[in-house]
Amino acid sequence: MGHLPQPVVAHGDPYRAHSSRKLLPVLLLSLPILALLFHCAYHGYDYGHSANLGQGLEPAAPVASADSYAAATFLYVASYGGTVTTFKLTQKSAAASLRLAPVASTDGCAGSPSWLTLDDANSVLYCTDEGLTTGNEGSLSSFSVIEDGSLVRLDKVRTVFGPVSAAVYGKHGKGLALAHYGGSALSTWDVEDPTAITPVQTRLFKMAQPGPNPSRQEAPHPHAAVVDPTGQFILVPDLGADLIRIYSVLDGDLKLTERDPLFVARGSGPRHLAFADQEEKTFMYLVTELGNTVVGYEVTYDDEAIAFEEVWTSGIHGKGNDVPAGGAASEIRISPDSNFLILSSRNESTLEIPNFDPDNSTAIASDPLVNFAIDPQTGHLDLVQEVPCGGLFPRQFSINKAGTLVAVALQGDGRVVVMERDAETGELGELVAHADIEGEVTAVIFNE
Ligand SMILES: *[C@@H]1O[C@H](CO)[C@@H](O)[C@H](O)[C@H]1NC(C)=O
Ligand SMILES: *[C@@H]1O[C@H](CO)[C@@H](O)[C@H](O)[C@H]1NC(C)=O
């Protein structure tokens, strides 16, 4: 066992992986008794924090609020520990707590699962492996989503190093675009037959010289691939190059055509973006990791072109509010009604939540989710609230379709939490379920 490869941390990025915590999962994965271990792990889990669950004491309550939680809602959770775990979100009655019950786990996306994309229409889940355990290449896996929540792998292909985000594009979801942080690339794949993923194009990016933050901007670092609301464009925020790369998607062709990029503030490090496709206007919001800003654009279309007018910029805690030292913005999401914007920041540790263990009085340190209302006329952001996200390093989070739940992937704590959200007012509420997962949790998505 002495010659197991040491986990490799991508160039100068303190957020990619905490190497000391990665060795154990790597060791575990190399053991042939893996199945047994998973079996034991399940029995060791203890989920949900309602003491009276299962005692039949819940009062009969109107089903209205229970309706907001779909009958069979699954969460898929990716971990650098090498696994994708399926949890079933259950609620015995409208008055009972939600529970996250583990129902399946797969190591089919190992070594270092970094991102999950669900192609709902085709019941296929894509998982990118960032390649941190090899240090020189990543991989892309496709899984068939089974009704009981389990995943059956269909294919796995090697990719350029460092994929951290994927987006389905093209008519009937035939294409998949991957942003490669560590490999400075954008790759596209034909997934019409998810059992036989085939490469379409790979673009490798270069920079003549480092950006203003040389330790993080020594090379281009595409951090996300996002399809616009029309499905005609793919946007790729590049943390290293301080720009958003733009590609157009032509009908019936998975090859992308490069457009002029959208330049952003130098040194800001664009990371993720999201669209608010409202009745009258379309806005796009970008969160920058190095500058800790949120930048809003009004998006307009003309013929075959997409155009952006900057309408907003502020720190991630809103206008006039400082960002705590060390803060590093991560995810940004727009509510299903397009009226609210939620973003997460890591390494702030300024908030806390009560311990999940009722017998433990020590509070748990937490980073924030920051919640804004979007002005439909101007695209300006109004701070609604800032809430504890349930632990440390919320790398990514997802909102369910009804807008009633937010699931947060906590990389620093190896935990996923589910938070209530009022779909009308947009307000974030209580943490209603949580689960611990081996390794650093990188992504969580709903399947409803
Ligand atoms: C977290 O923030 C502290 C400052 O509060 C900083 O020294 C440290 O490098 C940061 N950690 C990471 C992983 O960025
Ligand atoms: C209580 O919770 C804290 C914070 O999570 C933890 O560090 C500590 O180990 C816990 N104590 C016990 C006795 O479980």
Domain ranges of the chain: 61-447
Can you identify the CATH homologous superfamily of domain 61-447? YVTN repeat-like/Quinoprotein amine dehydrogenase (2.130.10.10)
Q: Could you tell me the distance, in angstroms and rounded to a whole number, from the CA of residue 326 to the centre of ligand 1?
A: 4
State yes or no: cis peptide before 231, omega within 30 of 0.
no
CA separation for the pair 196, 153 (Å, rounded): 11
Read out DSSP for 244-312? EEEEEE-TT---EEE-PPEE--TT--EEEEEEEE-SS-EEEEEEETTT-EEEEEEEEEETTEEEEEEEE
Q: Could you tell me the distance, in angstroms and rounded to a whole number, from the CA of residue 420 to the centre of ligand 1?
A: 29
pTM over 0.85: yes
Q: From atom 3 of ligand 1, which residue's Cα is the shortest distance away?
A: 326
Q: DSSP secondary-structure letter at 222?
A: B
CA separation for the pair 48, 31 (Å, rounded): 30
Whether the CB of 361 sits within 6 Å of ligand 2? no
Per-residue tens of pLDDT for the chain, all 448 residues: 333 333 344 455 667 765 444 444 433 444 444 443 343 333 323 333 332 222 333 333 333 344 444 457 999 999 999 999 999 998 877 777 889 999 999 999 999 999 999 999 999 999 999 999 999 999 999 999 999 999 999 999 999 999 999 999 998 779 999 999 999 999 999 999 999 999 999 999 999 999 999 999 999 999 999 999 999 999 999 999 999 999 999 988 999 999 999 999 999 999 999 999 999 999 999 999 999 999 999 999 998 899 999 999 999 999 999 999 999 999 999 999 999 999 999 999 999 999 999 999 999 999 999 999 999 999 999 999 999 999 999 999 999 999 999 999 999 999 999 999 999 999 999 999 999 999 999 999 999 9
The tokens of 226 are what? 């996002």
Whether the CB of 364 sits within 6 Å of ligand 2? yes
Measured from the alpha carbon of residue 330, the closest ligand is: 1
Are 69 and 419 in contact, with CB atoms under 8 Å apart?
A: no
Q: Could you tell me the distance, in angstroms and rounded to a whole number, from the CA of residue 353 to the centre of ligand 1?
A: 21
Among 349, 362, 434, name the best residue to mutate to test ligand 2's pocket (greatest count of ligand atoms within 8 A of Cβ): 362
Q: From atom 9 of ligand 1, which residue's Cα is the shortest distance away?
A: 326
